[in-house]
Structures are given as C-alpha cells and as structure tokens.
Amino acid sequence: MEEASRIDEPNRNPNTDRSSNPNPLSSIISSAHVWPTIDGPLGLTEEASVDYARRFYKFGFALLPWLWAVNCFYFWPVLRHSRAFPQIRNYVVRSAIGFSVFTSLLLAWALTFSIGGEQLFGPVWDKLVMYNVADRLGLSGLA
C-alpha cells in the first residue's frame, strides 16, 4: 500500500515516508499521498497530471504510439491502483489500448515484410526495404 508511492528507480533512497498518515487503508481511500507519476514526489501533482495525461493522449493520435507508451510508463502508479485518480486513469488506459493496437498492427506488417521477403512480395520488396531506399536517396554515409 505504501509501496504505491515508492514505485521508483532502485537508485533512490527508500526513505520515503511521505505519507504522514500511519493508516495505510485510509491513504488508499484518500489518495492524497499517492503520487500519480512514476517519479513520485519529484513528478507532477495530481492536477497537472490530468492535463499532461490528456495532452499526451491527444498528441498520440498523430501516429505517435511511443508517446502513448511513455504516457503509460510515466503514470504507471495510476495503472497499478485501480481506484485512485479516476480521471487520469481514463486517459492512461486508453493510451495503453491505443499503443497495443498500433504496435500489434505495425509488428504484423514489419514481420510479414521481413519474413515474407521476396517470395511474398516479389520485386516490390527490393524497392521497399530500407537499405535500398537509403542507397537510392543517398542517405547512407555521413560523408
């Protein structure tokens, strides 16, 4: 329960008795001392997090699934505790769903392309593969 506020990197000091409330149950219910971001007290406050979560979610629609993934990573405590932060949780869960869908589609396409190879695609494969495209456009080689 108190671990809610301690989801942090291992190189941080565990001296994190931020909740002056000794009763773990009420701290869950009050949710005033559980930080919504993975950075804990170094991160955002709850009000700012709602704004951030919403902005990340909306920007992710511009073909940015990585931004959705970052959103989920950053607000990981929100995902872990299903009853705290209802507004943030809304956006974070939707970001997670969006990220999974997009990634599965992209992965399916990429795997089909790389495993199928020439047999599946024919001569188009050579035109689409990255190292040939780079050669054609002169992108490879910094000099």
- Other CB atoms within a 10 A radius of the CB of residue 8 amount to 20
User: Rounded to whole angstroms, how far apart are CA atoms 23 and 44?
Assistant: 24
Q: Which of 29, 48, 97, 120 binds another protein (CB under 8 A)?
A: 48
Q: What string marks each residue from 1 to 30 as x (binds another protein by CB under 8 A) or -?
A: -xx--x--x-xxxxxxxx------------
According to the 3-state scheme, what is the secondary structure of 96-127? HHHHHHHHHHHHHHHHHHHHHHHHHHCCHHHH
Please report how close the Cβ of residue 125 comes to another protein at its closest, in angstroms. Answer: 8
Check residue 120 for interaction with another protein (CB under 8 A): no
Q: Which of 66, 80, 86, 97 binds another protein (CB under 8 A)?
A: 66
Check residue 114 for interaction with another protein (CB under 8 A): yes
Dihedral sign (CA 91, 99, 84, 37): negative
Check residue 88 for interaction with another protein (CB under 8 A): no
Check residue 79 for interaction with another protein (CB under 8 A): no
Check residue 92 for interaction with another protein (CB under 8 A): no
For 23, phi then psi, to 5°, come to: -95, 110
According to the 3-state scheme, what is the secondary structure of 48-80? HHHHHHHHHHHHCCCCCHHHHHHHHHHCHHHHH
Query: What residues line the site for another protein (CB under 8 A)?
Result: 2-3, 6, 9, 11-18, 37-45, 48, 52, 63-67, 70, 73-74, 106, 109-110, 113-114, 117, 128-131, 133-134, 139-143
